Amino acid sequence: MKLLVIDAGNSRVKWGLHAHGQWLERGAVLTAEVEQLQEVFSRLASPERIVAANVAGALAEQRIEDAVAHFGVRANWIVSRAEQCGVRSSYADPALLGPDRWAALIGARHLHERACVVVNVGTTMTVDALTAQGIFVGGFIVPGYALMRAALARNTARLKVQDGQFSYFPDNTANGISSGALNALSGAVDRMLRYLSETGQEDAIVLLSGGDAPLLEPLLVTPQLVDNLVLEGLARIGASDV
């Protein structure tokens, strides 16, 4: 089955064409320029099924609907469930979990049937805990790298956004801000690993995805970088019952 999967995030809309267990094409456009998908999708062969996750709002969803209309295939906009594709949710109200997080958890379970910390580093960073039994037990949501730096600039008089580099012992303001943000992000991942270990989920692995994942990768112990866990999960959902 040929699947078109779409992940509409706050910063970018990612998409992929999937068939026979592999990616045929993948790409992305800025969410602010989502109308570009009209031209992009006009060059694609028609999929048999379209599966999408949206956290970017109603306007982005409508623009995507417009871009896929010529295929003659309705988009299936996923909603998080209590159980799907080998993952069971412990969220208080499973339907309120972001569909991108749910898809990423399913993607993680499909790639590795062991305890995982599923990390997506974008506009925000989500750090979700998945047990070896496939149970999503909960997760953190924290501001992403750019948001942290922007918050300092917006709410202080002298800490402007500047390009900085990570350093163990920053000796200037720009490096101090960049290093502080990256340490805060990596610390959240390390803390979730510790929580999993303390609750009997030993040897959990970190699956790292998202646009700013390469910034965080050097600060974590042997993370596995996955190009787009959300798309992986959407492809798994699309290959099952949607």
Per CATH, which fold does 112-145+175-227 belong to?
Nucleotidyltransferase; domain 5 (3.30.420)
Q: pLDDT at position 41, please?
A: 96
The catalytically annotated residue of 7, 100, 128, 212 is 100
Q: Could you state, in order of their start, the residue ranges of all structural domains in the chain?
A: 3-77, 112-145+175-227
Q: pLDDT at position 164, please?
A: 85
Q: Which of 175, 39, 71, 215 is nearest to 52 (CA)?
A: 71
pTM reported for the whole predicted model = 0.92
Q: pLDDT at position 62, please?
A: 96
Q: pLDDT at position 158, please?
A: 66
Q: pLDDT at position 156, please?
A: 74
- The CATH number corresponding to 3-77 among 3.40.50.880, 3.30.420.40, 3.20.20.70, 3.40.50.300 equals 3.30.420.40
Q: pLDDT at position 241, please?
A: 66
- Give the burial class of 108: count Cβ atoms within 10 A of its Cβ; 0-12 exposed, 13-18 middle, 19 or more buried: buried
Q: Which of 133, 130, 136, 121 is nearest to 81 (CA)?
A: 136
CA 46 distance to own-chain centroid: 26
Q: Convert 8-51 into a string of H (helix), E (strand) and C (coil).
A: ECCCEEEEEEEECCEEEEEEEEEHHHHHHHHHHHHCCCCCCEEE
Strand partners, 16: 5, 26
Q: What is the mean pLDDT of each run of 10 residues along the chain (242 residues)?
A: 95 94 94 95 94 96 96 95 97 96 97 95 95 97 92 73 87 89 96 96 94 94 92 95 62
CA atoms of 128 and 66, how far apart (whole Å): 33
CA atoms of 45 and 42, how far apart (whole Å): 8
By DSSP bridging, strand 49-54 and strand 3-8 are parallel
Known catalytic residue at 100: yes
Q: pLDDT at position 87, please?
A: 97
The tokens of 48 are what? 């048999």
